[in-house]
Every structure is written in structure tokens, then in C-alpha cells.
Chain A
Amino acid sequence: ETGVTQSPTHLIKTRGQQVTLRCSSQSGHNTVSWYQQALGQGPQFIFQYYREEENGRGNFPPRFSGLQFPNYSSELNVNALELDDSALYLCASSQPPGTGDADTQYFGPGTRLTVL
């Protein structure tokens, strides 16, 4: 069984640029959530995708957007990058609602984004 995978591993961008991060969910999981983990802090929820639609959003501005594809993989897009966007971006997947383990999220290794 393949776990959650993310690409790229590391990324360096400059302020004002745009970035796209990618996530493949664990086999059998159709819900994907994205989190931002700043240095020394716990992950913060950005948004969740289920059935290709946004299904909940945290306190992040609209320049953070996402997509989910029919194969349940997902993208996180961040426009107009700011220095404070430097963080580890985590993707987590979970089983469909109503299944036994639907409330458990399994995390990928993350993408380390540095904004200069």
C-alpha cells in the first residue's frame, strides 16, 4: 500500500512569485487536506478537498487555492508569495466519510518552501 506522497521535496521562490505543490493520496483515500507548518509550530489547517470540491477552509487568504483531481490527487497553489509563506506544507489523506477510519488523517513527508 502506497502512502501519501508529495512533490517537490524542497522549493525556493522569491517574493511575489507563484507556486504549485502536489500531493497523491494514499490508496483508497478520497479526501485530501493541506496544512502549513511554520518553524517551531504545529501544523495549521489550510483547506480540505472531497469529491473535487473544497470542503472546509482555515484562516488563510484567497491567494491560497487548491484543486482535487478525479484520481483524488491534489494541488496547492499559492499566489503572490510572501516571506511568511516560508514553511513546510503538509498533505494528509483520509478515507471516505462514513467508513471506519474516515476521521484519521495520514500525512505525507511535506514540501519545504523557502521564500526569499
Chain B
Amino acid sequence: AQSVSQHNHHVILSEAASLELGCNYSYGGTVNLFWYVQYPGQHLQLLLKYFSGDPLVKGIKGFEAEFIKSKFSFNLRKPSVQWSDTAEYFCAVSFSGSARQLTFGSGTQLTVLP
């Protein structure tokens, strides 16, 4: 079965530090890739997505992600985090032929210290 792994369960950073959250998936076929964010008390919001084309995608709030097909990875990055980025981040993948269902990683809790 296809799976998605997020190896960092909890990341703690100081404001202005750089962020990189890892995401790997297990599937050799065509995929659509997503990062969602869940701020405290709020619902899941789409940060960015990759379907095809330029493997470096930019999302909202200064986030970006790079798709590396050979490594089955879609890591999320932000050059300088802010306290307001404190949230849980989920990587999600839809696999070809899966009726567009999303398979999520277990999430990474990011805490940014002021």
C-alpha cells in the first residue's frame, strides 16, 4: 500500500530560523503532492501543491516545496519562520488511479519561539 512519511514529529525553532520539513512517499507512479497546515483551533488549509511542471513550487505565507522524483520527496521550506507559523503541518499525496483520495503523513508539529 502507498504510504507517506514525515520523519519530524515535533520541530522547535526560534523566530527567523530557516525551516525544512521532510516528506517522503512510497510509490513509483504519478502523484499529486500537497502540504496542508492546521493552525491551533482552525481547520486544515492548503499551503501549496504540485501536479506537474517546475518541481519548485511556491505557496502562501512564504512557503515553498521542492519535488525530487528520484528521492520520492516533497520537502517544505521557509527561509525565515515567524511565531505565527506555529502549527501542525501535513504532507499529503494522491496516487494515480486512487479516485483522488489523499494519503496523509502523520504530521509535524512546528513550534516557533518568539
Instruction: Give the interface of A toward B (CB within 8 A).
Output: 31, 33, 35, 40-45, 48, 55-56, 58, 90, 92, 94, 97, 102-110
Contacts and interface: CB of A to CB of B under 8 A. Distances in A.
Contacts, number: 59
Query: Which 3 pairs, one residue from A and one from B, show the smallest C-beta to C-beta distance?
Result: A56-B99, A42-B104, A107-B44
B60 to A, nearest CB: 13
Nearest to A42: B104
Interface residues of B, number: 25
Contacts of B34: 104
A42 B37 CA distance: 11
Contacts of A103: 32, 51, 94, 100
B46 interface: yes
B73 interface: no
Contacts of B45: 107
